[in-house]
Structure 1
Amino acid sequence: MAKSLVCLCLTGKTLAEDVEIVKNYREFIDLVELRVDFLEQDERLKIREFPEMIDVPAILTIRRKIDGGQYIEGEANRTMLFAMGLSFAKEDPKKNFAYVDFEEDFHIPSLEDAAQAFGTRIIRSYHNMTSPVENIVEKFRDLREDSSEIPKIAFMPHRLSDVTKVFKEAEKWKDTEQIVCAMGPLGLPTRILSERLNSYLTYTSPSELMGNLLAIGHTDPITLGKTYRFHSIDEKTKIFGITGYPLKITSSPELQNGMFEKEKLNAVYIPFKSETIDDALDFAKALDIKGFSVTIPHKEAVIPLLRKIDKKAEAIGACNTVVRDGDDWKGYNTDAIGFEKALLEFTGTKDLKGKKVAIIGAGGASRAIAYTIKELGAKACVFNRTLAKARLVAEKYGFEYATLGPESLSRLNKYSDIIVQTTSKGMGSTEPSNQENDPIWFYDFNGKEYVYDIVYSPEVTPVMARADASGCKVCNGAGMLLYQGIAQFELYKKLV
């Protein structure tokens, strides 16, 4: 099968808007899909002209509401629009639509004959907007009514195991042409690794119109091309990645793929979100993933499932990196390495002797941070909403512990030389500090504190902004991410 193509979905209101988008993304795409269902009514009457307005092949699609589109005017009107788009075919095939998308239950012989007569290939599609497809091999067989048609299946996975199943099945259709993709955030691996799914193409959306197909879970073609180096992925490409949940924000793919590119290594690093670490490990095994990062909430849960862990991960009780070890896995903790280097750069010190540190949160990241603070000679107190969890982290290193709330204000005042925020509070938030996005909203800064927030998006979190306004020195987690990522990369590149 030929290499998988990159298709850009055009969901503008006018043809002129769509043409401009094609120009902006031209170097990153192989073809486009004109989504007529998004066009204004008057614009729909001019769709026949569209193939001549661009310099890439185009798919004619008029997607119904029930299939995830916007078209609600009825099948009679939709049939007329298809006829309008396919009529008056030119001798030069570049001036006609290269493909037309008909759903599995849409059979109009006159339209099918017209498409075939003028070299327009039919994509025969099936969309399940709510559930996975149980018998995908049989479904492809049912859709493939004619050898010239390209069957397409798009489905909504409920969990990562639904995506894993499709990758396991892909070998069964490697010698034919078809399109397969999982929708929503869980489906991102199917879009990046469409080559491994033996999929004819992968769909993308322009970043400026991403909201039009939000539920579909597209990425944009520039990210696909630059960050994931889509066109360089082949059967020899080694796969790495990151798992966690909800995994809404991560800069790791950009960091790791950038280092792979710099070192000229045939490897790709992808996100695969999973509610359970068991599903993540099954996915990694099915795709022969060589190593992956582990983030919230799996850093502790993954340890019992690994054959070996390094001394740091064992001492900390949390693992953020997993790599292949023969037929099994070995776990590491590079968070501690990254945090130590970043924190000492931030404070301008060689150690933390004589300092009193507040550790906010008691999750997997806080364990690595508590370990590092102990190694650097500071005293600390772990603050967490659930006191038992704070105690679990603190007692391991002889630290104090307290609940995270106004009732512990005096304790927080005592341990405020350095405040390290380790929770996900404030991640992605651009609002001013409040009780929802600032874990220490009840604390008044005196301007002498060093405030380190391991969150790196946004660049300035609500608690950092509030601390900065009071004269404190503040730092986000970008440095920690970089340094722990470099340590991960050193483990990964040995397996490429």
Structure 2
Amino acid sequence: MSKPLICLCLTAPTVAEDLALIEKYRHYIDLVELRVDLLADDERLAIRDFPSKAGLPCILTIRRTVDGGQFSEGEAARSMLFARALAFASEDSSKNFAYVDFEEDFHISSLQDAALAYGTKIIRSFHDMKNPLPSVAEKLRQMRVSRYEIPKIAFMPHSLSDVTKLYTEMQQFKNSDQIVCAMGTLGLPTRILAGKFQSYLSYTSPEDLELALSDIGHTDPKTLEEIYHFHELDEKTMVFGITGYPLKYTSSPALHNTNFKKEKMNAVYIPFKAEKASEAFEFASTLDIKGFSVTIPHKEDIIKHLQKTDKKVAEIGACNTVISEDGIWAGYNTDCTGFSKALCEFTGLKNLKKKKVAIIGAGGAAKAIAYAIKELGGKACVFNRTLTKAKMLAERFGFKYASLGMESIEILREYSEIIVQTTSKGMGMTGESNEETDPLWFYDFSGEELLYDIIYKPEITPIMARAAKSGCKTQNGFTMLEYQGEEQFRLFKTAK
């Protein structure tokens, strides 16, 4: 199979807007899919001349609602649209549609003959918008009835294990053309690593939220090419990544893939969302992933799957970096190093002696931060909604602990010189501070506190905005991400 292509799905309501999208992304894409079902009714009459205007190979698609599209007028009307688009074919093949997408159960011999007569390849597609397939391999064999057709299967995975299974099955099809993808955010690896999943192409859509098909897992062509260097990936590309759940926001791919590029390493770093740590290891082992970052909520649970850990993981009780070392999985913690460097830079201090620090939260990130504060000589109190978790973390490092609520106001004030927010509250959220977005919603800042929030998306969280308004100096977690990422990258370069 040749190297996979980037296909841009054209999702605008007018032909003019679709042509503008082509110009916007022309530098990144190899072909386009004209989604006729998304065009306004009067615009559908102008589709025959679209390939000559596009200047790129075009897929003609009129997707039914049952398959995730918006065409609901019936098969007779759809057949007429297909016929209109394929009629009066030009001897210059670039002026015709290069491909036409017919569903597995759509067989109109006159349309098929018209397509094949003028060199238009048929993509024979199957979609399950809700579930995975029992066997993608078996389905592909059933659909491959002619060498003139390219079978396509798209399904909705329920877990990362469904994506792992797809990869395993697709290794039987290295010498044939087919299109496969797992939809939704779980299926993102199938789009970035289309070549390793033996897929002929990877579908993308515009980054404009109104035009994007993000609900089925599309990314935009610019991200696919500039962040993941899609066209440079090959069979020898080493794969690294980040796992967590729900893994909605991460800047790690941009950081690590930039470093791979600078170091001229044939490697790519991808997100792979896993609800269970065991699924992440299954995926990593099957795809021969060389190393991966670990984020919420797996930093603690991941440890039981490791064969080796460094001293920091053992002392902290949390792991954020996993490396393949001579056939075994080894765990490290670079969060503590990244946080220590970032906090000293933020505060302008060389250590935390005589400083009292409030640690908000008691999860995996809080454990690494507590370790760093102890190493820097600080005193701390751990505040958490579940008091038993706060107690366990605090006693590990000889700190105090308290519940996270109004009943702990006085002790919070005592330890408020530096406040480190480690929970996920506020992640991806902007606007007013409230109980849902701000873990310290009940606390009035005096303006003297230093607030470090480990969240970095958004740049200013609700708690940061509220603290800054009171005169506090604040900092988000991007510097921590950068510094711990530097340490991670050093480890990634040793992976085997």
- TM-score between the two structures when normalised by the length of structure 1: 0.99
Structure 2 match to 1:215: 215
- 2:140 maps to which residue? 140
Partner residue in 2 for 1:271: 271
Give 1:210 deviation, angstroms.
5.9
Aligned equivalent of 2:63: 63
Distance in 1, matches of 2:2 and 2:178, equals 11
Q: Name the SS for the 2:301 alignment partner.
A: coil
Per-residue deviation, residues 266-289 of structure 1 (Å, max 9, x unmatched)? 000000000000000000000000
Question: Contact 2:11–2:211 (CA<8 Å) still a contact in 1?
Answer: no
Query: CA 1:176 to 1:210, structure 2 compared with 1: closer, same or farther past 3 Å?
Result: farther
Provide the residue aligned with 1:323 in structure 2.
323
**Which residues in structure 2 correspond to 1:411-426 (within 5 Å)?**
411-426=411-426
Aligned to 1:190: 190
CA distance in 1, matches of 2:379, 2:136: 58
Q: Distance in 1 between matches of 2:216 and 2:142?
A: 24
Q: 1:215 to 1:480 in 2, by over 3 A?
A: same
- Deviation of residue 326 (structure 1)? 1.6
Letter paired with 1:423: T
1:376 alignment counterpart: 376
**1:98 matched to which residue of 2?**
98
Please tell me whether residue 4 in structure 1 is matched to residue 4 in structure 2: yes
* Distance in 2 (alpha carbons) for counterparts of 1:250 and 1:493: 21
Q: 1:422-468: per-residue Cα shift (whole Å, max 9, x none)? A: 00110111111111100001100111100000000111111001110
Given the superposition, is the C-alpha separation of residues 39 and 475 from structure 1 closer, same or farther in structure 2, using an over 3 Å criterion?
Answer: same
Is the contact between residue 11 and residue 209 of structure 1 (CA under 8 Å) also seen in structure 2?
no
In structure 2, the residue matched to 1:458 is: 458
Counterpart residue number, 1:203: 203
Q: Which residue number corresponds to residue 128 of structure 1?
A: 128
Q: What is the CA deviation profile of residues 143-164 of structure 1, one whole-angstrom value per residue up to 9, with x for unaligned ones?
A: 1111110000000000000000
Alignment-mate amino acid for residue 495 of structure 1: A
One-letter code aligned to 1:149: E
TM-superposed deviation, 1:133: 1.1
Q: What whole-Å deviation, never above 9, does each CA across 1:134-184 have from its counterpart, x for those lacking one?
A: 111110011111111000000000000000001111111111110000000
Counterpart in the other structure of 1:116: 116
Counterpart residue number, 2:152: 152
Secondary structure of the equivalent of 2:424?
coil
Query: Which moves more between the two structures, 285-294 or 201-210?
Result: 201-210
Partner of 1:30: 30
Q: Which residue of 2 aligns with 1:243?
A: 243
Superposition deviation, residue 198 in structure 1: 1.2
Please give the root-mean-square deviation of Cα atoms over the aligned residues, in Å. Answer: 0.8
8 A Cα contact 2:325 2:495, kept in partner: no
Query: C-alpha distance in 2, partners of 1:472/1:252?
Result: 28
Alpha-carbon distance in 1 for matches of 2:155, 2:75:
23
| Bigger shift: residues 46-55 or 148-157 | 46-55
1:366 aligns with 366
Tell me, in whole angstroms, the C-alpha distance in 2 between the residues paired with 1:398 and 1:62.
65
Residue identity matched to 1:425: K
Q: What residue in structure 1 maps to residue 447 of structure 2?
A: 447
Q: Which residue of 1 aligns with 2:44?
A: 44
Q: CA offsets per residue over residues 197-240 of structure 1, 9 Å max, x none?
A: 11110000010156552321101000000000001100110000
CA contact (8 A) 2:459 2:476 kept: yes
Q: Deviations over 1:226-260 (max 9, x none)?
A: 00000110011000000000000000000000100
Structure 1 letter corresponding to 2:201 = L
- Is the Cα–Cα contact under 8 Å of residues 12 and 211 in structure 2 kept in the other structure? no
Specify the alignment match of 1:85 in structure 2. 85
- The Cα shift of 1:89 comes to 0.2
**One-letter amino acid matched to 1:443:** Y
User: Counterpart of 2:26 in 1: which secondary structure?
Assistant: helix
2:483 is aligned to 483
Say whether residues 1:352 and 2:352 are aligned partners.
yes
The alignment partner of 1:48 has SS state of: coil
- Contact kept? 1:210, 1:218, Cα under 8 Å: no
Distance 1:91 1:315 in 2: 72
Q: Amino acid of the residue matched to residue 190 of structure 2?
A: T
SS of 1:173's partner is coil
State the alpha-carbon separation in 1 of the partners of residues 56 and 107 from structure 2.
27
Distance 1:371 1:213 in 2: 43
2:338 counterpart residue number: 338
Matched, 1:405 2:405: yes
Is contact 2:34–2:58 with CA below 8 Å preserved after alignment?
yes
Distance 1:202 1:326, change over 3 A: same
Q: How many residues align?
A: 496
User: Structure 1: which 5+ residue stretches go unaligned?
Assistant: none
Distance 2:137 2:379 in 1: 60
What is the letter of the counterpart of residue 489 of structure 1? Answer: F
SS of the residue 2:89 aligns to? coil
The answer to whether the 8 Å contact 1:238/1:268 transfers is yes
Classify 1:161/1:8 alpha carbon distance in 2 versus 1 (closer, same or farther; 3 Å): same
Kept after mapping to 2: 8 A contact 1:159/1:275: yes
Whole-Å Cα distance in 2 between the matches of residues 303 and 373 of structure 1? 22
Bigger drift between 401-410 and 180-189 goes to 401-410
Partner deviation per Cα, 1:355-403 (whole Å, 9 max, x = no partner): 1100000000000000111111111100001001101110011111111
Cα distance in 2 for residues equivalent to 1:154 and 1:43: 27
Aligned to 1:227: 227
State the 4+ residue runs in structure 1 displaced beyond 3 angstroms: 209-212
> TM-score, normalised to structure 2's length?
0.99
Q: Percent identity?
A: 64
Higher mean C-alpha deviation, range 207-216 or range 420-429: 207-216
Aligned to 1:434, the other structure's residue is in SS state: coil
Contact kept, 8 Å, 1:12 with 1:209, in 2: the verdict is no
Residue 177 of structure 1 is matched in structure 2 by 177
Which secondary structure state, in structure 2, belongs to the residue aligned with residue 259 of structure 1? helix
User: In structure 2, how many angstroms separate the alpha carbons of the residues matched to 1:180 and 1:106?
Assistant: 19
